[in-house]
């Protein structure tokens, strides 16, 4: 197998500044997977910043991944919304169970955003970013929601979808509260770390075509997405990214309207057709994705290798580059050999050849 001509640090620095690199980068998003491999408990992985960071760093180095450790508490914003995360797993990392703060219409009508002082998730984010900065990592990520997805953290999904049809004004009210949370969080992060060190990322699991029709997406969620992006730009933020979680094939033209800055980062779930994304969203973005989660858990290394090569072939020559990544959060029980298959594909089929040496 070919070896790398650049270190990960060199590769990613060059990649983000648009310079030539040796091969397609590989980011594993190994968060909970790393906690498990390093034998942490859920409590340790989610809330002990030092242990979580170092577990991820060991695994990033072991698998020769690009990218940095990050705080990963699934549905963490629930803590800031006044809900609860029930933590399971004493000897391993397991997904928490969510206890939403809003159970019924009365709760929703009376719902107010809890005081900033009680925002445990945001505090943890700041603590993690400060620890990472001590370790030499300077970038900090600010969330742009989406607001609708955050409403899905305030109230259980099936209930929310009923309200989308029957109580649209109530949903609109909750979206407003989610916006308030996003913008206040952004102000706090900017004050803490400086606007030049902050980038914005957003995630759209509840807007995917299997949950919300494109029409409802445009009506319910899109106005808030546009408002939030506009307000974040006004705050001086310049670097944006998004993860299209689930199937967004019918939403792509709407996403194009957000008009993210050239060079923004878009990661794609396996249900999004890479060729179509490239065609509709164009060549002004960095794309990343989208090795299927199921394959990473149950597939053979050969199958993962083939899926990785397929994605690389479609995206490798994209103007702003392509990063091979798992489709979504890396499943906790991914086979280590399958992560190796992704690296192998980048090294063997993702190589960039230049006349002059790097």
Chain residues binding Zn ion by CB under 5 A are 245, 328
**Quick one: 27 or 245, whose CB is closer to Zn ion?**
245
The answer to whether the beta carbons of residues 125 and 142 sit under 8 Å apart is: no
From the centroid of its chain, how far is CA 327?
Answer: 10
CB of 54 to Zn ion, least distance (A): 25
CB of 207 to Zn ion, least distance (A): 11
How far apart (Å, rounded) are the C-alpha atoms in residues 188 and 183? 9
**Quick one: 185 or 203, whose CB is closer to Zn ion?**
203
**Quick one: 326 or 350, whose CB is closer to Zn ion?**
326
CB of 292 to Zn ion, least distance (A): 12
**Quick one: 170 or 328, whose CB is closer to Zn ion?**
328
Structure tokens given for 213? 């029709």
CB of 269 to Zn ion, least distance (A): 5
Separation in Å, CA 55 to CA 21, 249, 339: 28, 35, 16
**Quick one: 55 or 245, whose CB is closer to Zn ion?**
245
**Quick one: 76 or 101, whose CB is closer to Zn ion?**
76
**Quick one: 38 or 71, whose CB is closer to Zn ion?**
71
**Quick one: 245 or 286, whose CB is closer to Zn ion?**
245
In a 3-state reduction of DSSP, which class is residue 266? strand
The answer to whether the beta carbons of residues 268 and 288 sit under 8 Å apart is: yes
How far apart (Å, rounded) are the C-alpha atoms in residues 25 and 265? 13
In a 3-state reduction of DSSP, which class is residue 329? coil
How far apart (Å, rounded) are the C-alpha atoms in residues 55 and 50? 9
CB of 267 to Zn ion, least distance (A): 8
Structure tokens given for 308? 């990785």
C-beta neighbour count of 128 within 10 angstroms = 20
How far apart (Å, rounded) are the C-alpha atoms in residues 149 and 171? 11
How far apart (Å, rounded) are the C-alpha atoms in residues 329 and 340? 17
CB of 203 to Zn ion, least distance (A): 7
186 closest CA partner among 244, 285, 263, 119: 119
**Quick one: 126 or 245, whose CB is closer to Zn ion?**
245
How far apart (Å, rounded) are the C-alpha atoms in residues 144 and 178? 10
CB of 243 to Zn ion, least distance (A): 6
CB of 205 to Zn ion, least distance (A): 6
C-beta neighbour count of 136 within 10 angstroms = 8
CB of 252 to Zn ion, least distance (A): 16
CA dihedral defined by 204, 206, 207, 209, rounded to 10 degrees? 120
């Amino acid at each position: 197998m070919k070896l790398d001509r650049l270190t990960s640090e060199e590769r990613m620095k060059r990649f983000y500044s648009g310079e030539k690199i040796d091969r397609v980068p590989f980011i594993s998003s190994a968060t909970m997977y790393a906690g498990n491999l390093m034998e942490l408990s859920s409590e340790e992985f989610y809330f002990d910043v030092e242990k979580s960071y170092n577990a991820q760093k060991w695994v990033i180095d072991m698998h020769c991944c690009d990218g940095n450790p990050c705080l990963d508490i699934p549905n963490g914003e629930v803590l800031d919304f006044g809900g609860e995360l029930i933590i399971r797993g004493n000897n391993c990392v397991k997904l928490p169970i969510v206890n939403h703060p809003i159970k019924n219409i009365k709760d929703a009508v009376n719902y107010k955003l809890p005081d900033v002082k009680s925002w445990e998730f945001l505090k943890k984010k700041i603590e993690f970013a400060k620890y990472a900065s001590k370790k030499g990592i300077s970038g900090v990520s600010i969330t742009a929601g989406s607001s609708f997805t955050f409403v899905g953290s305030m109230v259980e999904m099936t209930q929310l979808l009923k309200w989308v049809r029957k109580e649209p004004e109530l949903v609109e009210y909750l979206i407003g509260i989610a916006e308030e949370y996003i913008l206040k969080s952004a102000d706090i992060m900017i004050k803490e770390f400086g606007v030049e060190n902050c980038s914005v990322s957003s995630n759209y699991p509840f807007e995917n075509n299997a949950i919300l029709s494109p029409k409802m997406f445009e009506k319910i969620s899109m106005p808030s997405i546009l408002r939030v992006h506009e307000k974040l730009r006004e705050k001086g933020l310049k670097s944006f990214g998004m993860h299209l979680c689930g199937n967004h094939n019918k939403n792509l033209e709407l996403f194009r309207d957000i008009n993210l800055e050239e060079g923004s980062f878009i990661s794609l779930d396996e249900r999004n057709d890479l060729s179509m994304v490239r065609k509709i969203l164009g060549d002004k973005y960095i794309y990343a994705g989208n090795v299927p989660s199921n394959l990473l858990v149950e597939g053979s290394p050969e199958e993962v290798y083939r899926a990785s090569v397929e994605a690389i072939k479609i995206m490798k020559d994209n103007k702003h580059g392509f990063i091979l990544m798992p489709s979504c959060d890396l499943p906790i029980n991914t086979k280590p050999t399958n992560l190796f298959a992704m690296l192998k594909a980048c090294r063997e089929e993702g190589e960039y050849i230049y006349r002059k040496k790097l």
